[in-house]
C-alpha cells in the first residue's frame, strides 16, 4: 500500500499545471497520444466523465494508448489522471463565479437568482460582522442578562426579527415581549424602569412606530438598544447602545426589507448567544428543557426518521 502523496522533486502532477504539461510534452508524443492529450486539455470536464474505454473511443485510439498518455503526463495511470481532470474542471467551474456582482434582472434564470441572493446575503453578513461594535454589543448583552424584563419593538419585516429575538430570549428563561402594535408598544413601554431593557429594530432608523416606544422607555430610565442600518438616524437619539447592521445594495427586485433582515438576524443571534453565555448556568438547562418539550411534537417516528 502506498497511494503516496509525495511531492518532492518531480513529484505528483500539479492539478492546474496540466494544460501546460500537455503543451510541453506534446511534441514528444506519438500521433495517437497527441489526440488523447488534446482531448484531455480541451475538455477536462468532459473527459473526467469518461472511462478509459470511453476516452479511447472518443479519440479513436485504444485503452492502452490512453494509459500511456496518462503515464507520460506524470500520473501512475489513467485513474489518477481522471481525478486530476475532475479537480481541474471544478477549478475552472468555480473560477467563473464573479459574474455575481450584477444586479438581479427580470429575466435572470432561477439558478442565477439563487446564486446572487446567496452571495448578497453572505456579503451582508460579512459586512455586518465587520462593522459591529463589539463594545456596544457587549454592553447590550450585559444589560439584557441582568434585565428584569425586556421589550422588543419592530414593525413590518423588522417585526419578525423582533419576534425571533423574543423567542430566543424566552427560551433561555428571560422575560421578553415583542411588540408590533405601536399603541400597545407605547402602553407597555410606560411600565419599564431602570434595569429593564428596550430594543428597537428598524432598518431605516426613522420608523416612528418604533421610535416612539423606545423614547418612552428611554425617558423611563430603561436601558435602550437600537438595531438599525443607519447609525445617524433619529432612533439613535434615544438609544444607549447602537448596533449597526450593514445592508447589501437594494434594487427593485430586492427591497431593503429583504437585505436588512439578514444583518439584523445576525445581530439578534449575537445578542442571544452572548446572553446565553453570561447566564449559562440558567440557560443551559432551559435550552435542553425546551428541546425536550418539543421532541414530543415531532412526529410519531423517532429521531432518525426515514
Partner DNA sequence: GCCGACTCGAAAATATCTTTCAGAAGTGAC
Partner DNA sequence: GTCACTTCTGAAAGATATTTTCGAGTCGGC
Cα–Cα distance between 229 and 285 in angstroms, integer? 35
State which of positions 11-30 bind DNA (CB under 7 A). Answer: 30
Short-list 84, 78, 74, 4, CA closest to 44: 84
In the complex, the smallest distance separating the C-beta of residue 4 from DNA, rounded to whole angstroms, is 11
3-class SS of residue 197: strand
- What does 193 interact with, of DNA, a second copy, none (CB < 5 to 8 A by kind)? none
Q: Does residue 201 belong to the site contacting DNA (CB under 7 A)?
A: no
Q: Does residue 168 belong to the site contacting a second copy (CB under 8 A)?
A: yes
Q: Does residue 61 belong to the site contacting DNA (CB under 7 A)?
A: yes
* Cβ nearer to a second copy, comparing 48 with 239: 48
Q: Does residue 38 belong to the site contacting DNA (CB under 7 A)?
A: no
Cα–Cα distance between 194 and 119 in angstroms, integer? 42
Cα–Cα distance between 25 and 74 in angstroms, integer? 10
Q: Which stretch binds DNA (CB under 7 A): 70-78, 96-104, 177-185, 260-268?
A: 70-78
User: Quick one: cell of 75?
Assistant: 500520473
- What does 121 interact with, of a second copy, DNA, none (CB < 5 to 8 A by kind)? a second copy
Q: Does residue 126 belong to the site contacting a second copy (CB under 8 A)?
A: yes
In the complex, the smallest distance separating the C-beta of residue 61 from DNA, rounded to whole angstroms, is 4
Residue 229: count other Cβ atoms within 10 Å of its Cβ.
19
- What does 272 interact with, of DNA, a second copy, none (CB < 5 to 8 A by kind)? a second copy
The dihedral over CA atoms of 274, 279, 281, 284, expressed in degrees to the nearest 10, equals -50
Q: What is the DSSP string of 94-157?
A: HHT-GGGGSPPPTT--HHHHHHHHHHHHHHHHHHHHHH--HHHHHHHHHHHHH-S-EEEE--TH
Q: Does residue 93 belong to the site contacting a second copy (CB under 8 A)?
A: yes
Q: Does residue 255 belong to the site contacting DNA (CB under 7 A)?
A: no
Q: Does residue 9 belong to the site contacting a second copy (CB under 8 A)?
A: no
Q: Is 202 left (phi over 0), alpha (psi -120 to 50) or beta?
A: beta
In the complex, the smallest distance separating the C-beta of residue 33 from DNA, rounded to whole angstroms, is 5
User: Quick one: cell of 266?
Assistant: 445576525
Task: Map residues 14-33 to x or -, x wherever contact with a second copy holds by CB under 8 A.
Answer: xxx----------xx-----
Q: Which stretch binds DNA (CB under 7 A): 12-20, 37-45, 55-63, 108-116?
A: 55-63
Q: Which stretch binds a second copy (CB under 8 A): 68-76, 191-199, 218-226, 273-281?
A: 273-281
- Give, in degrees to the nearest 5, the angle at Cα 214 between 277 and 201: 60
**Chain positions contacting DNA, by CB under 7 A:** 3, 30-33, 51-53, 60-65, 67-68, 70, 76-80, 82, 302, 304, 306
Amino acid at each position: 500500500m502506498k497511494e503516496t502523496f509525495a511531492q518532492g522533486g518531480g513529484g505528483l502532477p500539479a492539478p492546474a499545471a496540466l494544460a501546460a504539461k500537455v503543451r510541453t510534452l506534446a511534441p514528444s508524443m506519438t500521433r495517437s497520444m497527441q489526440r488523447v492529450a488534446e482531448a484531455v486539455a480541451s475538455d477536462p470536464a468532459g473527459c473526467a466523465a469518461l472511462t478509459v474505454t470511453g476516452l479511447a473511443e472518443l479519440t479513436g485510439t485504444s485503452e492502452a494508448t490512453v494509459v500511456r498518455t496518462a503515464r507520460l503526463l506524470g500520473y501512475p495511470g489513467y485513474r489518477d489522471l481522471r481525478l486530476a481532470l475532475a479537480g481541474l474542471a471544478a477549478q475552472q467551474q468555480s473560477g467563473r463565479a464573479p459574474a455575481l456582482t450584477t444586479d438581479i434582472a427580470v429575466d435572470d434564470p432561477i439558478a442565477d437568482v439563487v446564486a446572487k441572493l446567496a452571495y448578497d446575503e453572505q456579503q451582508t453578513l460579512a459586512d455586518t460582522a465587520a462593522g459591529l461594535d463589539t463594545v456596544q454589543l457587549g454592553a447590550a448583552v450585559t444589560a439584557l442578562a441582568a434585565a428584569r424584563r425586556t421589550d422588543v419593538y419592530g414593525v413590518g419585516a423588522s417585526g419578525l426579527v423582533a419576534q425571533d429575538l423574543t423567542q430566543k430570549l424566552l427560551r433561555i428563561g428571560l422575560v421578553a415581549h415583542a411588540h408590533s402594535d405601536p399603541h400597545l408598544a407605547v402602553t407597555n413601554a410606560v411600565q419599564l424602569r431602570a434595569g429593564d431593557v428596550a430594543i428597537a429594530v428598524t432598518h431605516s432608523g426613522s420608523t416612528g412606530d418604533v421610535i416612539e416606544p423606545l423614547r418612552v422607555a428611554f425617558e423611563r430610565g430603561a436601558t435602550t438598544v437600537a438595531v438599525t442600518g443607519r447609525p445617524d438616524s433619529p432612533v439613535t437619539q434615544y438609544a444607549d447602545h447602537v448596533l449597526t447592521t450593514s445592508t447589501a445594495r437594494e434594487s427593485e427586485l430586492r427591497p431593503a426589507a429583504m437585505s436588512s433582515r439578514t444583518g439584523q438576524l445576525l445581530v439578534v443571534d449575537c445578542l442571544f448567544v452572548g446572553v446565553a453565555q453570561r447566564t449559562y448556568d440558567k440557560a443551559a438547562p432551559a435550552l435542553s428543557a425546551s428541546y425536550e418539550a418539543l421532541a414530543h411534537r415531532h412526529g410519531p417516528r423517532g429521531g432518525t426518521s426515514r
